Structures are given as C-alpha cells and as structure tokens.
Chain A
Amino acid sequence: AQSVTQPDIHITVSEGASLELRCNYSYGATPYLFWYVQSPGQGLQLLLKYFSGDTLVQGIKGFEAEFKRSQSSFNLRKPSVHWSDAAEYFCAVASMYSGGGADGLTFGKGTHLIIQP
C-alpha cells in the first residue's frame, strides 16, 4: 500500500527566509506526486504535481519541488516566504488508474507553516 510521510508537523520560518517542507513516499511504481495547500476556511489548492519528465517541478506562488527517486522524496521549496504563505501543506501520492490518469490520493499528515514577521 502506498503511504506518505511528512516528518515535520510544524515549521516556523521568518518572512523572507527560504523554506523546505519534506515529503517521503512509499509506492511500488513511479508515483504521481502532488503538493496542496489548505488555508483556514479554504479548499485545497494544488501547488504543483509530478508525473514524469523533469524532476524539478515549478508550481504556483513561487513554489518548486524536486522528485528524487533514490530517496523516495518530493520536497517542496520556496526561496523567500511571504506572510500569506502561512497555511497547512499536504503532500500526496496517487497510483495510476486503468485509464492512465491519477487515482484517489493518499495524503501525508500535513505540515503547519507559521511565518514570523
């Protein structure tokens, strides 16, 4: 069975500093990997996704993530965080369904990002 581990429950970063959120996955084949952000009272918003190809993926809001198969990791990074980045971040993995797309998602437990002024 697939699984996702986000080892950091909380992370505090100063505004303007760089950010890295860790994600490790367990999946037998090449996974479909996602990062989502959830703000209070908001729905899930997709930041970026990896299916194949270039292992460095660019997303919205200045985020990027790098897929490292040897480490089973898909860490999320941002060079300079803004106060508006404070939210809950979820890494997720999906298997491929018969039609070729991504199936239901398995989420990590999430990382709560706090931005210090």
Chain B
Amino acid sequence: GAVVSQHPSWVICKSGTSVKIECRSLDFQATTMFWYRQFPKQSLMLMATSNEGSKATYEQGVEKDKFLINHASLTLSTLTVTSAHPEDSSFYICSARGLVSYNEQFFGPGTRLTVL
C-alpha cells in the first residue's frame, strides 16, 4: 500500500516551453502533497506544500509564478514549470500524506527534467 507515482519519469524540453509533472497517490487519498527539488548529488529541497482544494504554500525563494502547483483532487497534484530554462533542469520529487498515516510522507520515484 501507500504507492505514489509520478509521470513522466523523465522529460526533455526546449527553453521557453512549459512542462507539467503529475503526482498521483494510487491507493490512498492524499490530503497533502509536497514537492521537492533535488540537484545532482545534492539534497532535497522542499519547494511547496499543497492541500487538496487550496492554494499551495511555497517555501521562501521559490517563485510561485514559475512553479505552478495544482491539487484539484485527493489523488492528483500537478507541478507545471512555466517558461522553463536550463537552470530549471533538476530532479523533481513529490510526496503525499494521507488521513490514515498523517505522520509519514510517501515519496514518488521522481521526474528528471532537462531543459535544453
């Protein structure tokens, strides 16, 4: 149980285009989803927290107009990187927290974004 999927697993796009990454909780309802960013060989940085049906809360230094987060249902959250640039290339990881196991986050496998 407690499986989180991400799609796509990797994506390559041209500079200036937008990319959408999906995060799904497959077997539980995720009241809260978190988005993290991981640079190569570095740690994970929390970008934002999204609660179902509410606006996302962004961490300091994260541009909310650049990284659009939508959490429209209890099983799906999306992260859209708008007008992507090479510096946005990174590994994006989502996690989900449900009602039953509210102390634990379950992580997706991540999405590798490369912006050319």
Q: Are B46 and A51 touching (Cβ within 8 A)?
A: no
B101 shortest CB reach to chain A, Å: 8
Q: Are B103 and A101 touching (Cβ within 8 A)?
A: yes
A66 shortest CB reach to chain B, Å: 19
Q: Are A44 and B107 touching (Cβ within 8 A)?
A: yes
Chain A contacts for B105, CB-based, 8 A = 102, 105
Chain B contacts for A101, CB-based, 8 A = 97, 102-103
Q: Are B104 and A102 touching (Cβ within 8 A)?
A: yes
The answer to whether B11 has its CB under 8 Å from any CB of chain A is no
Q: Are A43 and B46 touching (Cβ within 8 A)?
A: no
The answer to whether A108 has its CB under 8 Å from any CB of chain B is yes
The answer to whether B44 has its CB under 8 Å from any CB of chain A is yes
Size band of the interface chain A makes with B? 20 to 34
Q: Are A49 and B103 touching (Cβ within 8 A)?
A: yes
Count of residues in B whose CB is under 8 Å from the partner chain: 20
Chain A contacts for B67, CB-based, 8 A = none
Chain A contacts for B97, CB-based, 8 A = 101-102
B5 shortest CB reach to chain A, Å: 10
Chain B contacts for A102, CB-based, 8 A = 97, 102-105
Chain B contacts for A107, CB-based, 8 A = 43-45
Highest count of chain A CB atoms <10 Å: which of B44, B46, B108, B109 = B44
A4 shortest CB reach to chain B, Å: 9
B85 shortest CB reach to chain A, Å: 25
Counting from the closest, the 9 A-B pairs by CB-CB distance are A101-B102, A43-B109, A44-B107, A104-B46, A107-B43, A109-B43, A107-B44, A101-B103, A102-B103
Q: List 21 A-B contacts (CB under 8 A).
A: A42-B109, A43-B93, A43-B109, A44-B93, A44-B95, A44-B107, A46-B104, A49-B103, A49-B104, A51-B103, A90-B44, A99-B102, A104-B59, A105-B34, A105-B36, A105-B44, A105-B95, A105-B105, A106-B46, A107-B43, A109-B42
B contacts, CB < 8 Å to A: 34, 36, 42-46, 49, 59, 93, 95, 97, 102-105, 107-110
